[in-house]
A = this chain, B = another copy of it.
């Protein structure tokens, strides 16, 4: 059926299913190459995500999910493309407890599946503060929901993978809650949300060499694009070699606020996130932050779909699937403004503003084509070092396409 390979026992106590997603991207760049160094963004194509998952229910109360992203194999020192790998006890539905590897509950745009986001890439603040440092972490969470609210809290550690234990792991307490002050059915919704995370960063030094043995934390973002993954703004390593200018990031606090709404074919969504850094070489003024806001409109009359159980947006079903002569699917236009500021007293991460317009064609609930045109309004990295500041003053624009299918 529509739900792919899925099997269920007669009493519903056992279920098993296999699914996947495929996102193929193409990117063309209209670069402003007046910079002193190599500031060319590369044109090309890329498989953005190719994921297979298996999931199911055992003995009614136990759920599990395993998902692998085949585009990430061998990509990191931990050499893992595992995204979800958890088991869940859900006897007291809707309350449940989840153990294993799962995405940290932080920010509306990150909790919304990448299959359902409105633009090809998530907002800059999500890239920088959630996605880039790898949001899939091992730990335990408790979660529940009602018609108008959700809450999920977790204690998570870095995924240390196999054979890679060269230090104790960092760990964090993280949570997100959402509430709907207005909920007049699926087409009139006002959503409020808040996320908080506090991370105890582990820094293990090789005392002889003065080098950090584990990977330092970095916050960074590309300007929307994925085919060329050069980060245009980046804090660089926030813990540095032992020595005269040594900095050591010990604690990171993150806070996010969400506001979103649906009114018939119109919807809007915005978030603000701030990040407090503390440790050796950092002061109370070292705060990174960003916000975004976008509006979307369905030319074909659909409404963005809100999943009350997750407090996030979900799968759109066109009023009429694309079928020659019988229907044209759903068509959506959207425009987004992004701002990210990673310049502080002690961090020259860069300040960037971008604008993006989107045209989405939902052929049917499982096939989608997307086109984005993005423009970098301003970049300002205050560092004197040209290698860090080379994109300063450039205004590239980028055209991206995506073909997506999930099953």
- Cα–Cα, bound, A77→B87 (Å): 32
Interface string of A162-182 (1 = CB under 8 A from B): 110111110000000000000
Interface residue A139 (Cβ < 8 Å from any Cβ of B): yes
- Cα–Cα, bound, A101→B367 (Å): 16
The smallest C-beta distance from A220 to any residue of chain B, in angstroms, reads 13
Contacts of A45 in B (CB 8 A): 138-139, 157, 159-160, 169
Interface string of A347-362 (1 = CB under 8 A from B): 0000000000000000
Interface residue A47 (Cβ < 8 Å from any Cβ of B): yes
- Cα–Cα, bound, A6→B138 (Å): 30
- Interchain CB contact under 8 A, A43 and B168: yes
Question: Which residue of chain B lies nearest to A162 when distances are taken between CB atoms in the complex?
Answer: B71
Question: Which residue of chain B lies nearest to A71 when distances are taken between CB atoms in the complex?
Answer: B162
Interface residue A243 (Cβ < 8 Å from any Cβ of B): no
The smallest C-beta distance from A199 to any residue of chain B, in angstroms, reads 14
Question: Which residue of chain B lies nearest to A157 when distances are taken between CB atoms in the complex?
Answer: B45
Interface residue A111 (Cβ < 8 Å from any Cβ of B): no
- Interchain CB contact under 8 A, A58 and B157: no
- Cα–Cα, bound, A54→B68 (Å): 14
Query: Which of A17-25, A232-240, A248-256, A305-313 is near enough to bind chain B?
Result: A17-25
- Interchain CB contact under 8 A, B158 and A2: no
The smallest C-beta distance from A98 to any residue of chain B, in angstroms, reads 10
- Cα–Cα, bound, A9→B86 (Å): 30
Contacts of A48 in B (CB 8 A): 162
- Interchain CB contact under 8 A, A5 and B5: yes
- Tell which of B79, B227, B321 touches A75, judged by Cβ atoms closer than 8 Å: B79
- Interchain CB contact under 8 A, A405 and B62: yes
Interface residue A64 (Cβ < 8 Å from any Cβ of B): yes
- Interchain CB contact under 8 A, A228 and B165: yes
Contacts of A47 in B (CB 8 A): 80, 82, 85, 100-101, 138, 159, 161-162
- Tell which of B7, B99, B228 touches A403, judged by Cβ atoms closer than 8 Å: B99
Interface residue A1 (Cβ < 8 Å from any Cβ of B): yes
Contacts of A226 in B (CB 8 A): 162
The smallest C-beta distance from A1 to any residue of chain B, in angstroms, reads 5
Interface residue A44 (Cβ < 8 Å from any Cβ of B): yes
Interface residue A52 (Cβ < 8 Å from any Cβ of B): yes
Interface string of A213-233 (1 = CB under 8 A from B): 000000000000011111000
Interface residue A323 (Cβ < 8 Å from any Cβ of B): yes
- Interchain CB contact under 8 A, A162 and B405: no
- Interchain CB contact under 8 A, B364 and A62: yes
- Cα–Cα, bound, A160→B17 (Å): 31
- Cα–Cα, bound, A66→B23 (Å): 11
Interface centre among A59, A167, A324 (most CB of B within 10 A): A59
- Cα–Cα, bound, A71→B74 (Å): 11
- Cα–Cα, bound, A310→B61 (Å): 32
- Cα–Cα, bound, A52→B65 (Å): 12
- Cα–Cα, bound, A336→B41 (Å): 48
Question: Which residue of chain B lies nearest to A79 when distances are taken between CB atoms in the complex?
Answer: B74
The smallest C-beta distance from A233 to any residue of chain B, in angstroms, reads 17
Contacts of A2 in B (CB 8 A): 9, 14, 58
- Interchain CB contact under 8 A, A87 and B168: no
25 contacts between A and B (CB under 8 A): A1-B9, A4-B14, A5-B7, A5-B16, A22-B64, A24-B100, A24-B138, A42-B165, A42-B204, A44-B160, A45-B139, A45-B157, A45-B160, A46-B138, A47-B80, A47-B82, A58-B364, A58-B407, A62-B364, A64-B405, A64-B407, A70-B80, A71-B80, A162-B226, A163-B229
Told that A42-B168, A46-B138, A162-B229 touch, could you supply 14 new A-B pairs with CB distance under 8 A?
A: A2-B58, A4-B14, A5-B7, A6-B7, A22-B85, A22-B86, A42-B169, A46-B159, A58-B367, A59-B364, A73-B74, A91-B324, A99-B403, A100-B403
